[in-house]
Amino acid sequence: MIVLGVDPGSVRTGWGVLDWQGSRARLSDKGVIAAPARFSLPERLRLIHEGVAALIARVNPDLMAVEEAFHAANVRTALVLGHVRGVVLLAGAAAGVPIREFPPATIKQQVTGNGRADKAQVALMVERHLGLPGAGEAGDAADALAVALCCAHQHTPLAALIAGGRS
Protein backbone atom coordinates (compact mmCIF):
# COMPACT_ATOMS: atom_id res chain seq x y z
CA MET A 1 0.00 0.00 0.00
CA ILE A 2 1.41 3.37 -1.03
CA VAL A 3 0.42 6.38 1.11
CA LEU A 4 1.18 9.94 -0.02
CA GLY A 5 1.26 12.44 2.85
CA VAL A 6 0.97 16.16 2.05
CA ASP A 7 1.67 19.18 4.24
CA PRO A 8 0.20 22.13 2.29
CA GLY A 9 2.06 25.43 2.27
CA SER A 10 1.80 28.42 -0.04
CA VAL A 11 5.56 28.59 -0.61
CA ARG A 12 6.68 25.08 0.37
CA THR A 13 4.31 22.12 0.15
CA GLY A 14 5.93 19.10 1.73
CA TRP A 15 5.23 15.57 0.59
CA GLY A 16 6.29 12.11 1.67
CA VAL A 17 5.58 8.65 0.28
CA LEU A 18 5.39 5.62 2.54
CA ASP A 19 5.26 2.04 1.33
CA TRP A 20 3.30 -0.06 3.84
CA GLN A 21 4.13 -3.75 4.01
CA GLY A 22 1.87 -5.30 6.63
CA SER A 23 2.31 -3.17 9.75
CA ARG A 24 5.68 -1.72 8.69
CA ALA A 25 6.25 1.56 6.89
CA ARG A 26 9.20 2.18 4.62
CA LEU A 27 10.16 5.61 3.31
CA SER A 28 9.82 5.50 -0.46
CA ASP A 29 10.42 9.17 -1.33
CA LYS A 30 10.01 12.69 0.05
CA GLY A 31 10.42 16.27 -1.04
CA VAL A 32 8.99 19.74 -1.36
CA ILE A 33 7.08 21.48 -4.09
CA ALA A 34 8.49 25.01 -4.08
CA ALA A 35 6.37 27.94 -5.24
CA PRO A 36 8.47 31.12 -4.92
CA ALA A 37 6.94 33.79 -2.68
CA ARG A 38 7.65 36.43 -5.35
CA PHE A 39 5.08 34.74 -7.63
CA SER A 40 1.43 35.78 -7.47
CA LEU A 41 -0.91 33.56 -5.48
CA PRO A 42 -2.63 32.22 -8.63
CA GLU A 43 0.75 31.29 -10.11
CA ARG A 44 1.86 29.57 -6.88
CA LEU A 45 -1.43 27.65 -6.76
CA ARG A 46 -0.90 26.52 -10.35
CA LEU A 47 2.62 25.32 -9.55
CA ILE A 48 1.46 23.45 -6.45
CA HIS A 49 -1.45 21.82 -8.27
CA GLU A 50 0.77 20.75 -11.18
CA GLY A 51 3.41 19.48 -8.77
CA VAL A 52 0.97 17.38 -6.74
CA ALA A 53 -0.72 16.06 -9.90
CA ALA A 54 2.65 15.04 -11.37
CA LEU A 55 3.65 13.43 -8.07
CA ILE A 56 0.42 11.42 -7.96
CA ALA A 57 0.96 10.29 -11.54
CA ARG A 58 4.53 9.23 -10.71
CA VAL A 59 3.98 7.37 -7.42
CA ASN A 60 0.41 6.14 -8.03
CA PRO A 61 -0.62 6.23 -4.35
CA ASP A 62 -3.41 4.07 -2.98
CA LEU A 63 -4.29 6.81 -0.51
CA MET A 64 -3.48 10.47 0.09
CA ALA A 65 -3.36 11.99 3.60
CA VAL A 66 -3.51 15.78 3.93
CA GLU A 67 -3.05 18.04 6.93
CA GLU A 68 -6.15 20.10 7.70
CA ALA A 69 -6.01 23.85 8.10
CA PHE A 70 -5.08 25.16 11.51
CA HIS A 71 -6.53 28.18 13.27
CA ALA A 72 -4.21 30.99 12.22
CA ALA A 73 -4.03 34.30 14.04
CA ASN A 74 -3.76 36.00 10.66
CA VAL A 75 -6.96 35.65 8.61
CA ARG A 76 -5.13 36.21 5.31
CA THR A 77 -2.71 33.36 6.08
CA ALA A 78 -5.63 31.04 6.85
CA LEU A 79 -7.36 31.98 3.59
CA VAL A 80 -4.23 31.43 1.51
CA LEU A 81 -3.68 28.05 3.16
CA GLY A 82 -7.28 27.17 2.34
CA HIS A 83 -6.58 27.91 -1.33
CA VAL A 84 -3.47 25.71 -1.25
CA ARG A 85 -5.37 22.87 0.41
CA GLY A 86 -8.02 23.24 -2.29
CA VAL A 87 -5.60 22.67 -5.17
CA VAL A 88 -3.95 19.77 -3.31
CA LEU A 89 -7.34 18.12 -2.69
CA LEU A 90 -8.36 18.79 -6.29
CA ALA A 91 -5.25 17.04 -7.62
CA GLY A 92 -6.00 13.97 -5.52
CA ALA A 93 -9.71 13.90 -6.31
CA ALA A 94 -9.10 14.40 -10.05
CA ALA A 95 -6.76 11.38 -9.99
CA GLY A 96 -9.33 9.30 -8.13
CA VAL A 97 -7.13 8.85 -5.07
CA PRO A 98 -9.02 8.39 -1.76
CA ILE A 99 -8.17 11.29 0.55
CA ARG A 100 -8.09 11.48 4.35
CA GLU A 101 -7.61 14.75 6.26
CA PHE A 102 -6.20 15.18 9.76
CA PRO A 103 -5.91 18.19 12.08
CA PRO A 104 -2.39 19.12 13.24
CA ALA A 105 -3.07 18.14 16.88
CA THR A 106 -4.21 14.66 15.83
CA ILE A 107 -1.11 14.18 13.69
CA LYS A 108 1.15 15.24 16.57
CA GLN A 109 -0.73 13.00 19.02
CA GLN A 110 -0.50 9.95 16.77
CA VAL A 111 3.17 10.41 15.89
CA THR A 112 4.60 11.67 19.20
CA GLY A 113 1.97 10.92 21.84
CA ASN A 114 1.64 14.66 22.50
CA GLY A 115 -0.92 16.77 20.61
CA ARG A 116 1.11 19.90 21.38
CA ALA A 117 4.51 18.58 20.23
CA ASP A 118 6.80 21.03 18.47
CA LYS A 119 8.28 20.55 14.99
CA ALA A 120 11.53 19.12 16.36
CA GLN A 121 9.68 16.45 18.37
CA VAL A 122 7.59 15.49 15.36
CA ALA A 123 10.70 15.27 13.16
CA LEU A 124 12.50 13.07 15.70
CA MET A 125 9.56 10.69 16.02
CA VAL A 126 9.11 10.48 12.24
CA GLU A 127 12.74 9.44 12.06
CA ARG A 128 12.26 6.82 14.78
CA HIS A 129 9.07 5.40 13.28
CA LEU A 130 10.78 5.02 9.90
CA GLY A 131 14.16 3.87 11.24
CA LEU A 132 16.04 6.75 9.62
CA PRO A 133 19.51 7.78 10.79
CA GLY A 134 20.29 11.30 11.99
CA ALA A 135 18.96 13.86 14.41
CA GLY A 136 15.45 14.31 13.04
CA GLU A 137 14.17 14.63 9.49
CA ALA A 138 13.55 18.36 9.39
CA GLY A 139 11.16 20.52 7.47
CA ASP A 140 8.07 20.25 5.38
CA ALA A 141 8.81 16.73 4.11
CA ALA A 142 8.99 15.47 7.72
CA ASP A 143 5.62 17.08 8.42
CA ALA A 144 4.17 15.33 5.36
CA LEU A 145 5.60 12.00 6.50
CA ALA A 146 3.99 12.60 9.89
CA VAL A 147 0.62 13.04 8.13
CA ALA A 148 1.11 9.71 6.32
CA LEU A 149 2.09 7.97 9.58
CA CYS A 150 -0.94 9.45 11.35
CA CYS A 151 -3.17 8.11 8.62
CA ALA A 152 -1.84 4.60 9.17
CA HIS A 153 -2.20 4.87 12.96
CA GLN A 154 -5.77 6.14 12.64
CA HIS A 155 -6.89 3.66 10.01
CA THR A 156 -5.71 0.11 10.37
CA PRO A 157 -5.81 -1.88 8.23
CA LEU A 158 -5.17 0.61 5.44
CA ALA A 159 -6.64 -1.72 2.84
CA ALA A 160 -10.11 -0.97 4.22
CA LEU A 161 -9.65 2.69 3.23
CA ILE A 162 -9.34 1.99 -0.45
CA ALA A 163 -12.01 -0.68 -0.70
CA GLY A 164 -14.29 0.55 -3.45
CA GLY A 165 -11.84 3.38 -4.23
CA ARG A 166 -10.27 3.51 -7.67
CA SER A 167 -11.42 1.14 -10.36
List, in sequence order, every residue forming a beta bridge with 139; answer none if it has no partner. none
Residue 22 C-alpha from the chain's centroid = 21
Catalytic residue set: 7, 67, 140
